[in-house]
């Protein structure tokens, strides 16, 4: 199994909203006491164990809109089908901190996901989407996703990163369906927030 977190390389993007995929992979590496990351196929990577299951953790360093190229190289080298891939990325259409575990579907305007789908020739791979919420009115969406979380968002963002790592672990150890049943449930708290918005 291969887990890919999407993001942009470089310290200026390190804690940006668009880099939550990298942050989730870092959390999985921390939990697995794995490291340091090595470099291959224009990616940072390492092998880790998730509850006894060996996984490859990958952070493409090709910039978001070219993520498909290194991921394709990894799948070819390991002779893995895209179905053995779990992709973690941010999602503007989900409220901050909310997760959605899916398989297939469109890219929804996400350039990293679009690059993967084009490079792999399929959308048939599991994804863990991490909500970062739409920007306030008048704020450029590109500037918004490339900016760090506001201090007021930090606690909720950190909790979401931990929950997304939990979701990846559940997909690896149990199944996609188990993770969907656990993490796609709209709680009363989320419904209340959306009604008030």
Name the residues annotated as catalytic. Answer: 18
What is the rounded CA–CA span in Å between residue 67 and residue 139? 26
Give the burial class of 19: count Cβ atoms within 10 A of its Cβ; 0-12 exposed, 13-18 middle, 19 or more buried. buried
**How far, in Å, are 7, 101, 166, 179, 189 from residue 163 at the CA level?**
18, 11, 5, 11, 16
Q: Rounded to the nearest 10 degrees, how much is the dihedral formed by the CA atoms of 105, 93, 148, 46? A: -20
SS3 content of the chain, % helix, strand, coil (to 5): 45, 20, 30
What is the rounded CA–CA span in Å between residue 176 and residue 109? 23
């Amino acid at each position: 199994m291969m887990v890919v977190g999407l993001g942009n390389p470089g310290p200026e993007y390190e804690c940006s909203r668009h880099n939550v995929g990298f942050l989730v992979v870092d959390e999985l590496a921390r939990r697995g006491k794995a490291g340091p990351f090595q470099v291959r196929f224009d990616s940072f990577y390492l092998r880790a164990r998730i509850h006894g299951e060996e996984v490859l953790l990958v952070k493409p360093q090709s910039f978001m809109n070219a993520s498909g190229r290194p991921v394709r190289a990894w799948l070819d080298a390991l002779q893995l089908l895209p179905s053995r891939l779990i992709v973690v990325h941010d999602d503007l259409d989900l409220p901050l901190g909310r997760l959605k575990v899916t398989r297939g579907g469109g890219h929804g305007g996400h350039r990293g996901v679009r690059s993967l789908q084009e490079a792999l020739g399929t959308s048939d791979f599991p994804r863990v989407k991490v909500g970062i919420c739409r920007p306030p009115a008048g704020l450029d969406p590109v500037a918004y996703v490339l900016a760090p979380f506001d201090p007021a968002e930090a606690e909720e963002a950190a909790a979401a990163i931990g929950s997304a790592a939990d979701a990846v672990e559940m997909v690896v150890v149990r199944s996609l369906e188990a993770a969907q049943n656990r993490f796609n449930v709209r709680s009363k708290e989320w419904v209340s927030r959306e009604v008030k918005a």
